[in-house]
Chains A and B, each alone.
Chain A
């Protein structure tokens, strides 16, 4: 208990430092992870090959297509008519809490700059195999939410895949440290409560910037709480309620942050809030289009502001 209290105090101190906008000296020199251009280039060669393959597939599809969307899908029976430019949602984003959101965005940027990102950079010094193990471990835990939500979305094939992944990785993969299932051609496809709510017709709702977490929508925020609540209730191996829960939560946060290259205000732009909001909400709306791709019923045309 004492340890958990100390952790909470440390967390509060760090937040206070972030809020105060620390690091006010005139020159600061921070070490950041070294670059490996040789490896980046090797990765780019792979990526270019993937792009060439994608271009070839796109060309082949365009050649074979009769203009219907969904030609490549496994289930062409219920495919809807392709979207046209007129079906695209408004460019405006429904953001009734913009003022509060903007202050939260600034808080998150300061927190990230002063605490979260430096901690993630320090975490990146740990050898990569250990970090992969941590990443796989948390990914495996999230399969439980995926199984439940795929079932609720009535996407049983994907649910079975998540269940298969959880069983294989928890056993052969030593408690989830190794993603053995991916080698058996069962790659991860995480989902959650927000997608379930979307599947059953709930709109993303207003744009919402959540403290520490970042860009979201009301539905995504509820989804996050629901997913966490589910994990907390199930409490696999007492990981969510036991003494280790704070430490594991922190490790999970470091793992997630270190896998995201985004940096607040690296664009230097005063319009970053608008740009991120636009991209985030459009991404989620397109993902919703995927959720409804095979619905029998025709979705009404989206004329209302995006995200509403």
Chain B
């Protein structure tokens, strides 16, 4: 929870951008309300996560190694990304032969988030070797692993993930004995996991058995479009919106601090301040929208740099280590995903895929590209929530219709607000182990 609050603060960096041109190609406007299916409780669950008292039993010791790997296909690393040269993943090994669970992180996140820690604990406790990987939209992945540098294309990202997984698994310590590989992921990582399994079904290099999607999107762009709407509605779409939010938050925090008699602004204070500042649906929505926008800024910057589209990065004079990026960040802070799509993503992929159109790019970023497999192959599973923020009713119905008995919809949890909860963990383990009703042996 303090993390969400820190995100609020971190996001309030700078916001006086330039005038936006009308984008030529736009993803479809997101349908339904900006909060998707979420009500107040769903928004709160999304920000606070699973209440600790509802968590599944966890082991008291999970060994962990950090693996940094330079991938053979990596391109030269731009100066400003000097720290992202290698792909970094985390691995927990069992001492005996065991199945390997590969877990993929959510949008913009690395391979060691608090949600991944929870899943790692649950999976390790259930006897799995656990490999946790960053999202293909995490800057460290974009730089070290992506074959395009322009993140967000489900199939392209899936191929990159699949290739990276093969390299990592080949370099695991020899004493690690793996008797089966399963993939799972949360949020965008859920969709990534299903795509990776579908690629493996063709290429057969890892022989992935089961895939579990936790709170996945259906149509990537409409989920993201909804978060853009949430940003515009609760923070604003004008140039001064983030600055206004920053000023309000600063004054509120300073007043609370002055009244507190503390001598240091520590975590305990932030905890209390969050309780005082985050109260209304609008404030929870702002926190959710802002934390997504912070991730988007990185994806936008990296994409623009690699694609040479020149929105904020001069392709002839890319920034170097000593250069200030404050203005760039300030401009990007105001740019919604639709602009990333129209100015970076679409121009790049239209050029590299001769027969594609803007409409086909949008259609390609929908889980229905593997709809047949999801429908007929009993090894795909999903978990989602009735008050999910990133889905509308039609998308949720599509998931239920496609997966049938292989999806479970919990009443409450918002987006990822019940990861690690007893029932979620128990169902996830049953799905992975083939103990779910109707599972194939």
Q: Which residues on A are within 8 Å of B, measured CB to CB?
A: 23, 26-42, 44-45, 47-48, 50-51, 54-55, 57-58, 61-62, 69-74, 79-80, 82-89, 91-92, 98-99, 102-103, 106, 109, 158, 189-191, 195, 264-271, 273-275, 278-279, 282-283, 285-287, 289-290, 293
Known contacts A26-B69, A37-B62, A158 near B263 by CB under 8 Å: yes
Q: Verify B298–A34 contact, CB threshold 8 A.
A: no
Whether B52 lies near A88 (C-beta < 8 A) is no
The answer to whether B64 touches A35 (Cβ under 8 A) is yes
Interface code B226-262, partner A: CB below 8 Å = 1, 0 otherwise? 0000000000000000011011101101110111111
B-side contacts of A31, CB under 8 Å: 63-65
Q: Name 9 interchain pairs, CB-CB below 8 A, sorted by A.
A: A28-B69, A51-B274, A58-B276, A83-B251, A91-B12, A92-B14, A268-B110, A268-B134, A282-B9
| CB within 8 Å for A48 and B52 given contacts A32-B64, A102-B321, A287-B264 | yes
Please determine whether B258 and A70 come into contact, CB atoms closer than 8 angstroms. yes
| Contact (A268, B298) CB under 8 Å given A50-B271, A102-B321, A191-B263 | yes
Complex partner residue of A265 from B61, B84, B257, CB under 8 angstroms: B84
Residues of B within 8 A of A72 (CB): 259-261
* Complexed CA–CA distance, A197 and B326 (Å): 29
CB of B306 within 8 Å of the partner chain: no
Q: How far is the CA of A23 from the CA of B83 in the complex (A)?
A: 12
In the complex, are the beta carbons of A85 and B251 less than 8 A apart? yes
Q: Which of B51, B264, B322 contacts A99 (CB 8 A)?
A: B322
Indicate if the CB atoms of B9 and A279 lie closer than 8 Å.
Answer: yes
B280: interface (CB < 8 Å): no
Q: Bound complex: CA of A290 vs CA of B248, how far in Å?
A: 17
Give complex CA distance A271, B319 in Å: 12
Give the Cβ gap from A155 to chain B, nearest Cβ, in Å.
9
| Whole-angstrom distance between the Cβ of B58 and the nearest chain A Cβ | 4
Q: Judge whether A28 and B139 touch: CB under 8 Å.
A: no
**CB-CB nearest in chain A for B332:** A271
**Is the CB–CB distance between B69 and A27 below 8 Å?**
yes
User: Does B430 sit at the interface, judged by CB under 8 A?
Assistant: no
| Contact flag A85-B258 (CB < 8 Å), given A28-B68, A54-B271, A278-B10 | no
In the complex formed, the residue of B with least CB distance to A21 is B82
Segment of B30-38, B117-125, B200-208, B345-353 in the binding face: B117-125
Per the bound structure, the CA–CA distance linking A132 and B324 in Å amounts to 40
Known contacts: A38-B59, A71-B259. The answer to whether A88 contacts B251 by CB under 8 A is yes
B325 within 8 A of A: yes
Contact of A36 with B69 in the complex, beta carbons under 8 Å: no
Cβ-based interface call for B441 (8 A) = no
Q: B65 contacts A29, CB within 8 Å?
A: yes
Contact partner of B321 (CB less than 8 A), chosen from A26, A50, A74, A106, is A106
Q: Are A70 and B171 in contact (CB under 8 A)?
A: no
13 new A-B contacts at CB < 8 Å, known A27-B70, A85-B248, A268-B141: A27-B68, A35-B61, A35-B62, A35-B120, A35-B121, A36-B62, A37-B125, A40-B117, A51-B275, A69-B255, A69-B259, A274-B326, A275-B13
Which B residues are in CB contact (< 8 Å) with A83?
250-251, 254-255, 258
**For the complex of A and B, 10 pairs with smallest distance between CB atoms:** A37-B121, A37-B58, A268-B139, A54-B272, A44-B52, A55-B275, A58-B276, A268-B140, A85-B247, A293-B258
Per the CB 8 Å criterion, the residue count for chain B at the interface is: 86
Which residues of chain B come closer than 8 Å to A50, judged between CB atoms? 268, 271
Contact of A264 among B83, B134, B247, B298 (CB under 8 A): B83
Q: Which residues of A contact B276 (CB under 8 A)?
A: 54-55, 58, 61-62
Max chain B Cβ within 10 angstroms of own Cβ: one of A54, A73, A92: A54
- Shortest C-beta distance, A247 to chain B (Å), equals 28
Q: Which of B65, B173, B246, B258 contacts A91 (CB 8 A)?
A: B246
Known: A82-B255, A286-B250, A290-B263. A275 touches B10 (CB 8 A): yes
Given contacts A69-B259, A287-B257, A293-B258, contact A103 B322 (CB under 8 A): yes
Distance in angstroms from B138 CB to nearest chain A CB is 5
What CA separation (Å) do A270 and B301 show in the bound complex? Answer: 8
Nearest B residue (CB) for A81:
B255
Nearest chain-B residue to A48 (Cβ)? B52
Contact of A38 among B58, B171, B262, B301 (CB under 8 A): B58
**Other-chain contact of A57, B83, B171, B272, B274 (Cβ < 8 Å):** B272
A194 to B10, CA, bound (A): 24
Rounded to whole angstroms, the CA-CA distance of A47 and B36 in the bound complex is 30
Residues in A neighbouring B262, C-beta threshold 8 A: 290
Q: Looking at the complex, which one of B66, B254, B328 makes contact with A32 (CB distance below 8 Å)? A: B66
Q: Which residues of B contact A269 (CB under 8 A)?
A: 139, 297-298
Contacts of A70 in B (CB 8 A): 258-259
CB within 8 Å of A: which B201-233 residues: none
Chain A residues in 8 Å Cβ range of B397: none
Known: A48-B53, A74-B261, A268-B110. A26 touches B247 (CB 8 A): no
Contact B247–A106 (Cβ < 8 Å) = no
Q: Which residues of B contact A190 (CB under 8 A)?
A: 263-264
